[in-house]
Chains A and B, each alone.
Chain A
Amino acid sequence: MKKILILGIIILFSLSLLSCDSWMTTTQTFTYEIDDIASTDQDVEMYSLDLTTNEDYAEHRDQIRSVDQVSIVGRITNNLETEASAQIWADTSDAYTTVEGVTNNATLIFATPMPLPGGSITSIDWSDGLEYMENTDYLNDLIINEGQFALYGLAADTPFDITIEAEVVITVTVGR
């Protein structure tokens, strides 16, 4: 009798836990490679990011509960001899071709906190990239609801000439 009682409590406990929706989630990380973005203050380059071409994102897109972290890793080259703080801006529109067009309409999502020395190549690892992210709520919304958006490479200083080779590393919580 005692054993049956204990077994019954355990079965009831297990069934009640399985019915909790938030228990049926997983945490997944996927990486999206961005081709080089080479921008100058006279010629702003845009990269059209389409997450739906990523198998992991496409498979779970409708099941994403939250974006837990986004980091940008890669290498930034400052092609001029003057210092420049690199930036990445994002927007659903890919129509901007000038610095003013981008800064007036798009949202800053990444900025190096210190100027990159002239002629330097700077590596951004995962923890640096996480630290340099800006306006993550906006970016998270683009990832969950849009999947496709434009990235613009800029620098905070003028004149500038930078090349950004980057990958976006996205960690999400996925549910059924």
Chain B
Amino acid sequence: MKSKLLVLLILLLAAPASFAIGDIAIGPYYGMVMPIGNDAVKSGMMYGAQAKVSLIPILSIGAHYSSRSYGNPTIDSEILGELEIDGGDVTSMGLDAFLGKTGGMTGMNIYFSGSYGTFKWKRDSFEDISKSSLAFGPGLEIVLPMKIGIEGRAMFEVASTGEEGTWKAVMWYIGLNYHINLSPGPM
């Protein structure tokens, strides 16, 4: 997993030499994560930061870091009443690909994104879990003339349980990106 990420990171860093990069965007985001088909955790909040490099007008690649806190599920015990279980925190680092209008042009940009990254889950009373995850979904960014983009994205995430199963979640977030437009002429 780490070696794959390293290779992808090297490719990402080497990209400027191979492509006429049109745009670089960086920024934070904040949103929500909702587990699907998993009653062992509840919905929670997430935040993170990302960087994107536009290689060609319809393709960008990027990297992200995110952290989320799942809500605590409860068990109704006949003996002890309502018992709470720690939902825990998940951190993820990974690489992203964006397909569509991703060049950071002023106005509305719609794209489809895919992401591959780490999935580190820490919960009280549990051993730490370290898996990989895939996420994909549509996004929309409105880039303003002052090079600030307001982005909204929804993603469906799947992480392996390591036991013939997967944890799934829907994530959505809103972020702000600062665009460093590198191509000549107006953005």
Contacts and interface: CB of A to CB of B under 8 A. Distances in A.
For chain B, the bracket of interface size reads: 20 to 34
A74 interface: yes
A26 interface: yes
Contact of A27 (B37, B86, B112, B164): B37
Interface of B: 37-40, 58, 73, 75-80, 83-86, 99-100, 112, 114, 124-126, 134, 136, 158, 160-161, 163-168
B40 A25 contact: no
B123 to A, nearest CB: 10
Interface string A101-138: 00000000000000000000001011100110000000
A123 B100 CA distance: 57
Contacts of B83: 73, 125-126
Contacts of B168: 23
8 contacts: A9-B99, A23-B158, A25-B37, A29-B39, A31-B76, A65-B164, A73-B77, A73-B83
Nearest to A2: B58
B164 A75 contact: no
Contacts, number: 93
A2 B110 CA distance: 13
A23 to B, nearest CB: 5
Scoring B86, B124, B158, B165 by chain A CB atoms within 10 A of each residue's CB, the highest score goes to: B165
B58 A31 contact: no
Main SS at interface, chain A: strand
Contact of A131 (B80, B114, B125, B136): B125
A144 to B, nearest CB: 12
Nearest to A131: B125
B136 A68 contact: no
The 9 closest A-B pairs by CB, nearest first: A26-B37, A173-B165, A66-B163, A25-B165, A127-B125, A27-B38, A65-B164, A74-B79, A126-B83
A130 B40 CA distance: 14
A28 interface: yes
A54 interface: no
A66 B99 contact: no
Contacts of A13: 114, 136
Nearest to B76: A31
A25 B79 contact: no
